[in-house]
Every structure is written in structure tokens, then in C-alpha cells.
Amino acid sequence: MGINYLFPPPKPPEKPKTVVTTDPSKDPTKPDISKVTNPTESALEKIKNDFAKTLTPVKKDDIKTFSIKTDSFLVKFSSLGGRITEYYIRNHKEPDGSEFLIAKDPKFKINFDGTEEYAVELSRFEGFDFNLISDKETIPYSPYNNVNFATSFDEATKTIVFEAPSPDGKYTIQKKFQFFPSENYFKFHLKVKNQTKETITLASGASEMYLRSFGSLGPILKKREDFNDRDVAHYFRYYYLDGSFKDHVDGASAQGFLDSVGSWFGASSESKDERFEVKKGINEKVDFVGTGSRYFIGVLDPLADQPTGVLLDNRKGNETGVLISYDNWKLAPGEEVKLDYAAYVGVRELDGTAFRDSKLDPKVTPASPFAGLSESLDKSFNQGITTPLRNGIVWILKKIYLVIPSYGWAIIIFAILFKLAFYPLNKKQAESMKKMQELSPQIKALNEKYADDPKLKQEKTIELYKKNGTNPMSGCLPMLVQIPIFIALYTAFSDTADLWHSPFLWIKDLSEPDTVFTTPKLALIGVLSINILPLIMVGTQIIQSRMTTVSTDPNQKMMMYMMPFIMLYFFWSMPAGVTMYWTMQNILSIAQQAYTNKFGDSKGKDGAANNANAISGKSSPTPQNQRGSRNNSKKKKN
């Protein structure tokens, strides 16, 4: 059923004061962008300006703007293009009554329709088009972006309708947006109607029609020239096609290694336009498409009619997003194509995609206007295989935060709880390290005695371990257990919006490195950030290494002492929350090892030394021999 029947507007759209411009894709005077392979910001701006010169200008007084407020969002629309021009996520209350503070920094204070709000803009101030494109040469710009649509706005139902004829006048398009007061979803409905007395083909296999919804998502948190590899990876685009989720780093080619291999052994790539790539579905077709940033995602989910494929822009620096492609629009006179979509814009969290009103939740209410919503939307979070662990960590941190409203203390408490939860393993590790230290003289003696026979040395060493009931690998188990936890922690602190701009002690933002000073630009190095936590972390790592290193192999010893500095390299640019957790784990491990060394069961250093002397063949005076020696000396004196 079309959205017209689900959400009828209170009144028909006003007579369009439409300024229809010439379709740039059909205009022989349009600028030639067929050679544009690197749409940098300046190049794209030039293309837009060149397009504008070929179009009939729209009078400023004829352009209408609209605003919609929900519990979570602030949205601005324009009749020019019939599109979203600004999209903000605001501070708001969650269903459980807790405050969701996404805009903590004063720089996010804005004036929205005369009201001061704290909100983060998500479209990079480029807006979201939700417009059709018939010629991919004009991508990412739609000719409809230059059309002034007729409008109808119902503030009570938060519904806005845009309508305009096509550039050639053969069909009309109607776009309808409906928002819901408490939801993070909105509905988008697209209707295309043939206005001629002839059958027209708008999309076919030879000439497809594309729908562009979300471009690259914001916010951009730093200057592009300051981006490192981790920053680049935070921005991505994705699609779910034929039951498989695919994602690509934003602004880069979507072609992978296998595509390159195919071009090496296949036909010449000169005849293939590698700027754009169409992916087609066979069975399940397109489930959803979208874009993502560090903390947020935008998803468009076709609810009824599944499109056949997607179009990917492979040009370097593009901010196009993923376009949905259609190839089967053939309309008889007066016939319509009605397409219904659900759109989600919000945080990359399951809590965000949960419905607040059960009447709108399709899992609870089958007749919900969101019936047909994909059950795989959580894949769009793009958080890796440790997502369940990551979600569990975030849940624990939020629960601790409710009691102690500081994510810094929440991390410390979580580190202690984690240590307690794995106390048996940690205890075994500490005892194993103690035993290994006690056996160190004997291992050294074996290495010296069998230096020329490595095989026998290994056999004697294993025999020594078995005799003393120890295993050098047992100390590695707690470390192995922590690896997936560490990966999940990294993900949690990297993309959890709650931690964004959360301070602690001298740390301004737990989701970023704790930089306290930045040097001027240095030769060969560039700008160098001075971070305190990684230095504290490497200090604790060195202490821990000195307490647990038992190897007598110089190469292994060197590796053990080098490891803290290798860790320093990796942790230098990591979120402060991750580094603080690791530092706390080191401190707790040092404390436990020190306690075990002092109060744990011990065979005694004298016994280990005597055994070492026995292995090496050296004589070692026993207490009995020592008494005999003293008696002999007494006899001599007498």
C-alpha cells in the first residue's frame, strides 16, 4: 500500500510554483564531467557552479524552508530540491529517563528556530538528497536538486510532502517524509506517476534510475590533512545485498584485490568505466544501504519492493554514499510506481535502533507502518566479530555510570571487576611466574651444561618443568583471554557516543588520546603530540616484565624488554579509555605478582640453587657436611 493511504496529508499540495530547470544530463550545454576521476571538494564545487550556469535560476522568495523537531532530532528542509538541508541529533532523554548527552562540548550549541539547543549536525551541512538521478555522469548531483518543489506541511503529524514534474514533463515525482515524536526512524515515500498518454520506460537494464539518499555522514572531527589511518577508517559506506553485508572506507574505491586480479587477466580495463560500479542481486536483492561515521549511521531500508542493485562511486575523495539502482520502471498512461522506505539516523547502538513506541515496532505490531523492516540492521553498526562482547562492556559501563557519573571511574571499576572475574586464572599465572623464577637457576644450569646439545637441553628442561609441576605456557592463558576483550574494548571506546567528550582528571576526552601538549611542526616528524597515559602504561609494563621474565636466552630477554616499547607505539594514538584500562590491568597484575612472590608457597631459593649446582656438577655443602666440617675444626684445635 502506498504511503498516501497510510499518512494522508491534511490538505492537497498547493499549486506548484515550480521552476523546472533543464535536466543537466540531457542538456548539450552541460559541463562535461565524464573525465572527472577525483572529485575533490574544489572540483565538485566547480561542477556545481558550472551546472548552475546552465539552469534557470530560482527566485529566493519562492524557496520555502521547514523545520521539524522530535525528541532526538532537529531537521531542516527546503523546497529547493525537496530535500533535507540540515540534520541534527540533540541531547535528549532516553526511554528509561536517563539523559543522553551527545553534545557535551559548548561548540555544539546552536540556535534552531529561535531556541538554543545542543546538537550535532550529521550531514556535514551538505544535506540529504533523497532524489532520483537518471544519468550517472551527474552523480552525486541530481537535476531535482535545482527544482523548486510544491510543498505541503502538517506540523501536527510531522509530515512534509514535496511534488514536482520531471524536467521533460512526462511524469511527476512526489516525496513524502514523516517523522515520529519519540522515534529515531522516519518514513520516506516516493511516488512516480506517468502523466502522458503513452507508455514510458523510466528505468531498464540499459538505462537505470538511481536513488541517492544519504551521502557521507558526519561530523568531521578534525581537518582532513590531520587524518591518520584510524580516522579514515571511521567513515564508511555499506550495503546488504543477497544476504551479505559489504562495507567500504568512505571516499575510496570499492574495488578490491580480486577485482584488480580480474582486470590483469581479463579484458583491457580501458573499455571499462571504473569510476562507477553496479552490484546486482540475484536472490534476496537489496536489503538496505547506508553510510556511517565514528559514532553514527544513516540507513535506508526499502520496505516492500526490493531494488535489484546498488551503484558505488569509485572516484577518490567522493562523498556519494551508496545509491540504489532500479531497472524495471515501465509505466502505462496514468500508472504509478510507489516505493516505501524506512530510514534510521542515529547512534551505532542497538539501543538507538529500538522502537520507543510498541505500536510502531513491527515485531510487536505487524500492521506497523514499519512492517518489512530488515532484521539485519544491526550489521550496519560495522563493529566486527567481537560485537557481543563490545555491547556487554558498554552495558556494564553505563550501569556503573548510573551509580558513579564518571566514565573514567567506570573504566577503573570495570578493570577491577574483570580482574576479580578471572582471579583463578590470574592466580595461576602469578604462581606460575613465581615457580619459573625459582627454577631460573636450574634452567640456567641446564643451558650451560647442554649448550652443545639443543635437543637434550630441551628434553631436560621439559623434564624439569614436569618434576616441579609447572608449565611456562600456563601464564599465557590470562593474556590470551584478554585479547578479544581488548579488541572489544577498543571498539567500545572508539565508537561509543556516550564516551565522546567524557573527561577524567587531566584527560579531556576518553575517546581520544590524552594529549597534553602538541609540538610545533618538526622536520621529518611533523607535529608530535605528547600523551601521558601511554608513558605511564609503558612504565608499568616494564615493571611487570622485570617481575615475570625468567628466560635466560639473551634474544628472548631482549624481546621481553622491547615489548613495552612496541606497546607504546601501538597505544600512542589509541583512545585514552583503552590505554587507561590496560594500565590498570598492569597495576593490578603487579600488585598480585608482588603479593604472590611474598606470601605464596615457595620451594626456597637455597633449594633451587642447590639443584642448580647439582645439575652443573658443582659441590654444594649440605647442612650435615657443614656440621661435620665444624666438628673437624674443633678436633684440630684440641
Q: Is residue 11 part of a domain?
A: yes
pLDDT digits (tens, 9 = 90+) for 555-603: 666 777 778 788 888 888 888 888 999 899 889 888 877 877 777 655 5
* Assigned C-alpha cell, 107: 561548540
- Residue 1 in this model has a pLDDT that exceeds 70: no
- Examine the domain organization and report whether 461 and 335 are in the same domain: no
Say which range, 384-398, 440-454, 528-542, 549-563, has the weakest mean pLDDT: 549-563
Q: Is residue 81 part of a domain?
A: yes
- Examine the domain organization and report whether 417 and 369 are in the same domain: no
Q: Is residue 58 part of a domain?
A: yes
- Examine the domain organization and report whether 304 and 216 are in the same domain: yes
- Examine the domain organization and report whether 323 and 452 are in the same domain: no
| pLDDT of 186 | 95
- Examine the domain organization and report whether 435 and 475 are in the same domain: yes
Say which range, 206-215, 393-402, 526-535, 593-602, has the weakest mean pLDDT: 593-602
| pLDDT of 439 | 67
pLDDT digits (tens, 9 = 90+) for 93-118: 877 777 888 888 888 999 998 899 99
Q: Is residue 614 part of a domain?
A: no
Three-state DSSP class for residue 265:
helix
| pLDDT of 70 | 93
Q: Is residue 608 part of a domain?
A: no
CATH number, domain with residue 367:
2.70.98.90
| pLDDT of 14 | 42
| pLDDT of 176 | 96
Say which range, 86-95, 254-263, 474-483, has the weakest mean pLDDT: 254-263
What's the chain's average pLDDT?
78
| pLDDT of 136 | 83
CB neighbour list of residue 210: distance below 8 Å, 6 or more residues apart: 132, 133, 134, 136, 139, 311, 323, 324, 325, 326
Across the range 290-317, mean pLDDT stands at 89
Place of cell 531542516: 76
Query: In this predicted model, which residue has the larger pLDDT, 617 or 586?
Result: 586
Q: Is residue 302 part of a domain?
A: yes
When divided into structural domains, the chain yields a total of 2
Q: What is the rounded CA–CA span in Å between residue 356 and residue 113?
A: 26
As a whole-number percent, the residues of the chain with pLDDT over 70 amount to 74
- Examine the domain organization and report whether 496 and 356 are in the same domain: no
- Examine the domain organization and report whether 15 and 54 are in the same domain: yes
| pLDDT of 616 | 54
- Examine the domain organization and report whether 420 and 330 are in the same domain: no
Q: Is residue 623 part of a domain?
A: no
Across the range 609-624, mean pLDDT stands at 51
Within 10 Å of residue 589's Cβ, how many Cβ atoms?
23
Is the peptide bond preceding residue 143 cis, with omega within 30 degrees of 0? no
What's at 146, amino acid-wise?
N
- Examine the domain organization and report whether 415 and 358 are in the same domain: no
| pLDDT of 609 | 47
* Assigned C-alpha cell, 35: 573525465
- Examine the domain organization and report whether 369 and 431 are in the same domain: no
Q: What is the rounded CA–CA span in Å between residue 216 and residue 219?
A: 10
Residue where a domain stops, chosen among 359, 381, 403: 381
Query: In this predicted model, which residue has the larger pLDDT, 489 or 210?
Result: 210
The residue range of the domain holding 178 is 3-381
- Residue 6 in this model has a pLDDT that exceeds 50: no
| pLDDT of 370 | 92
409: left (phi over 0), alpha (psi -120 to 50) or beta: alpha
Query: In this predicted model, which residue has the larger pLDDT, 519 or 610?
Result: 519
What's at 342, amino acid-wise?
A
What's at 369, amino acid-wise?
P
- Examine the domain organization and report whether 237 and 307 are in the same domain: yes
- Examine the domain organization and report whether 403 and 548 are in the same domain: yes
CB neighbour list of residue 177: distance below 8 Å, 6 or more residues apart: 77, 84, 130, 159, 160, 186, 187, 188
- Residue 516 in this model has a pLDDT that exceeds 70: yes
| pLDDT of 426 | 67
Query: In this predicted model, which residue has the larger pLDDT, 179 or 135?
Result: 179
| pLDDT of 604 | 47
Q: Is residue 618 part of a domain?
A: no
| pLDDT of 5 | 32
Query: In this predicted model, which residue has the larger pLDDT, 275 or 296?
Result: 296
Residue where a domain stops, chosen among 349, 381, 413: 381
- Residue 163 in this model has a pLDDT that exceeds 90: yes
